[in-house]
Amino acid sequence: MKKVLFLLFATIAWVINVKAQNARIQTVKGDRGVVVGVNVVNPMRANLGDQNAAFDQLKAAGVQVIRCGITADGKGIDYAKRAAANGISVQLILSPQYPPGAPSRPYDPKNFPQMWSGHPLSYADPELSKKYYQSLFDQLDKNGIVLAGIELGNEINWAAFNPEFPIPGEGKILSLHDLYNDPEGRQIAKGFLQYLKILAVLKEVRDQSSLNRHVPIILAGMVSAPDGEKLYNNKKEDMVSLSATIGFLQANGLDTLVDAYGIHSYPSPGQPGNPAADAKRVARFTSVDIAECRPVGSKSGKPAWITEWGFNNTDQNCPVNDTARTMLVKQMMGIFAKASAQGRLVGVTYFAWNSDPWSKQPDPYSLYRCGGLTPSGKAAIQQLKFGK
């Protein structure tokens, strides 16, 4: 009898926890349907004490969604459980899985320090990926963990995070025409097609989940590169334009597999408060970042989920001088509010809350500095709620 009662109460507690997590996500969305949050950088590198300290900081600030990756093991699941216990849901970044013999692009820190090593996307294995995702989702379901979102991959449309790109490349932003006709572009397109196969098995696993079957799947956060623009440097670290990437993927079935397009938006930080500079930020966001995005329920296209956005602040002093960045954050929140009112924006996730645990100095993009939340961080979290 005692065992039966224990199991009954445990089941009730589990159901209450799941409902609470779903309610938190709905609360975060508010009446505009926008999920808000911050990126937490490499949390699995931090020790248990530092992880819990970060949860305390996030909870105190009112953050309810964090974007990060976790390991598909006891440590990763425990991290997600402790997040949930603090009223925080995970917007999960997942990666494709590769066979042991897949080729790898080596890391060249001397010549390309920001171009990471890894496997070409065309070698991603659907069966291995499905097995990995199934194991992870089974553990999430078993532990009553409801995610805020699932994002497959990261910035697959440029050389840094997609080793399908050769280094050095051609020194340009590739177009839709290039994906069909340029030798480098055709190889990158093979990787994009394989990515869609991985998305398909992820959706299959997601759809069969008992708790996470309605959690949105997000297209890998894309670099918002426009057609025809020059690269940001002369190192031939190639990109595919945002419109070309989405257009190619759409033509091959993307919109049947995702609920939102993940996009990374890093506006120019120049001259905050200057009307001309402010206007350029508005124009760039509307004409490039969300140009391909459509309101929820549209016959073609999906809404945007800005899975990374932010401004750097190189001031290493304490307290940090954050006046300029605060102005920029407030302006962007106004821009986001207009896009959300149009139904074209369903999520915004600031980059980033913290510095990498292995970093020796504060990340210029971090919001939590000098033992507290910066003024721009406070403004971002308040404004992300669109005045609520």
Instruction: Express each pLDDT in 334-365 by its tens digit.
Output: 999 999 999 999 999 999 999 999 999 999 99
In the predicted structure, residue 33 carries a pLDDT above the cut 80: no
Give mean pLDDT, residues 69-92: 97
**CA separation (Å) from 235 to 113, 166, 179, 230, 357?**
11, 12, 21, 12, 29
In the predicted structure, residue 112 carries a pLDDT above the cut 70: yes
**CA separation (Å) from 200 to 27, 254, 344, 352?**
30, 9, 24, 29
pLDDT attached to residue 14: 45
Instruction: Express each pLDDT in 141-187 by its tens digit.
Output: 999 999 999 999 999 999 999 999 999 999 999 999 999 999 999 99
Those residues whose C-beta lies under 8 Å from the C-beta of residue 349, and which sit 6 or more positions away, are 35, 36, 37, 38, 39, 65, 67, 91, 305, 306, 307, 308, 309
pLDDT attached to residue 381: 86
pLDDT attached to residue 29: 47
pLDDT attached to residue 1: 53
Tally of CA atoms within 13 A in the half-sphere of 74 that contains its CB: 0
In the predicted structure, residue 17 carries a pLDDT above the cut 80: no
**CA separation (Å) from 294 to 23, 66, 349?**
26, 25, 19
In the predicted structure, residue 25 carries a pLDDT above the cut 80: no
In the predicted structure, residue 32 carries a pLDDT above the cut 60: no
Query: What confidence category does residue 382 fall into, taking pLDDT thresholds of 50, 70 and 90?
Result: confident
How far apart CA 382 and CA 388 sit, in angstroms, is 8
Give mean pLDDT, residues 301-329: 97
Q: Which domains does the chain have, with CATH numbers?
A: 2-384 (3.20.20.80)
Percent of the residues in the chain that have a pLDDT greater than 70, as a whole number: 90
pLDDT attached to residue 222: 98
pLDDT: which is higher, 31 or 380 = 380
In the predicted structure, residue 259 carries a pLDDT above the cut 80: yes
Q: Whole-model pTM? A: 0.91
pLDDT: which is higher, 299 or 20 = 299
Instruction: Express each pLDDT in 218-253 by its tens digit.
Output: 999 999 999 999 998 999 999 999 999 999 999 999
Give mean pLDDT, residues 46-73: 97
User: How high is the mean pLDDT of the chain?
Assistant: 92
Give mean pLDDT, residues 196-206: 98
pLDDT attached to residue 384: 47
